[in-house]
Structure 1
Amino acid sequence: MVCGVGPHAAGCANAPQDGEQSALADLVQRDFTTTAPDEKWVGDITYLANDEGWAYLATVLDCYSRKIIGWRLDTHLRAELAIEALEDVISRRNPNGNIFHSDRGSQYTSHFFREFCRANGLRPSVGATGVCFDNSVADSFFATLKKELVHGRSWNTVSEIRTPVFQFIETYYNRHRPHSAMNYRTPEEQEDKFAKLTLTAT
């Protein structure tokens, strides 16, 4: 079950409350290694141009498999964009104390986003301001997306972007794109391998 925070939590202001900015912690410290799925998730938001303006893509990536386990595409940058990218993931994967790490974008540092994480079994974590290495795994996915899908293409509307983004993430990247960091396994192969090892161990 996904827990909300307040009657209109997802649509509330995006700034941290007084005193909260100083309490934001980096629980990752650039160490994105894990021994199993659902230990560390990372999130970020990127911009996709179209003739109507901008679309904004929020993603959730599992550090163990590099799989995009949640995403949301919309025309706004409110905190609810980041929350909605997490909602389906929480329902499917039932987090229990694992880390959700991001940069210090206002969507992720907002009081309501952080309370949403805590209410749903996640420990929010943020990197340093303006330091790209502190969220390098999320940034690496976006670099791949821009290079292999976006560059050289144009779209008239946000609606035209949805299908290519879906196909890139769900059909190509998660299922067919190998990663050198995982002995050239795909994200789904990496998770399947872990599941088989876990089953054998029991």
Structure 2
Amino acid sequence: MFWLAAVRDVFSNHIVGWRCSDRCDTDLILGAAEYGIWSRDVRDGQLIHHSDRGSNYTSFRFAQRLADNGILPSMGSVGDSYGNALMESFWSTLKIELVHRNSWRTRDEAEKAIFGYIDGWHNTRRIQRDLGWRSTDEYETAWHTHQARQDQTAIVQPEPTGTRSPTPPANRGEPQPPTPQPIEGTASESDRPHWPTARAGPAVSPAPQQADGPGCIEGWSHGGA
């Protein structure tokens, strides 16, 4: 038997961790989870890990490892085929695009092929409709670039003194008071750029799946095949 466990990021569909083994045990899924923790900026209390209710995922060792890294556990309901649908869709894609089209003589050959598929194709080059026809790497890069630009433009500038025009008098026949001139070195109201009041992700359709970005409130979907 040859088993593969993988962890998928809900935000970008990126496979953040995976591991192969000849045994379907807790060490297998711990290896995939450790790979994901190593490759991501996991922050205490800001990551949810979702899986089915397999005995490996309900084990004390696995639950303790999640707790040690501040990861919140989540599990699907018993007998619910949709409880981990995000991960199941990846297994279907992997089998269609790789497994059913090839055969390998040894497990080492199979593991190398899986490495090439996940790290050399799925994460870096395979475009996805849900990501605006981008790969997972391209989607995350676009998100980080957009956030960096938003951080630069979201700095609130102090209101210069004397730049607002007074309320005009009710009687239009009366002479209007002169408009105060901007203080030297400051911008007038009309010249002031519009500072955004909210932060959003890149213009990608559809929007990211219930997440704020890598390293923020997000979810991992874990499964084995």
Q: TM-score, normalization: structure 1?
A: 0.71
Instruction: Please name the residue that 1:89 is paired with.
Output: 36
Structure 1 outlier segments of 4+, above 2 Å: none
CA distance in 2, matches of 1:90, 1:121: 11
**Corresponding letter in the other structure for 2:3:** Y
Percentage identity across paired residues of the two chains:
36
| Higher RCO, Cα 8 Å, sep 6+ | 2
Among candidates 140, 143, 148, match of residue 194 of structure 1:
143
| Structure 1 contact 132–139 (Cα < 8 Å) conserved | no
After TM superposition, the structure 1 = structure 2 runs for residues 125-140 of structure 1, keeping only pairs within 5 Å, are 125-140=74-89
Aligned-pair CA distance for 1:79: 0.5
Partner SS, residue 134 of structure 1: coil
Aligned-pair CA distance for 1:94: 3.2
Partner SS, residue 6 of structure 2: strand
* Structure 1: gaps of 5 or more residues: 1-53
| Structure 2 contact 16–39 (Cα < 8 Å) conserved | no
Instruction: Please name the residue that 1:70 is paired with.
Output: 17
Aligned-pair CA distance for 1:121: 1.5
Aligned-pair CA distance for 1:62: 0.5
**Corresponding letter in the other structure for 1:75:** D
The alignment yields a C-alpha RMSD, in angstroms, of 1.1
Q: TM-score, normalization: structure 2?
A: 0.64
Aligned-pair CA distance for 1:91: 2.4
| Structure 2 contact 123–135 (Cα < 8 Å) conserved | yes
The answer to which structure has the higher strand fraction is 1
Bigger Rg over Cα: 2
Aligned-pair CA distance for 1:183: 1.4
Task: Count residues with an aligned counterpart.
Answer: 149
After TM superposition, the structure 1 = structure 2 runs for residues 132-151 of structure 1, keeping only pairs within 5 Å, are 132-151=81-100
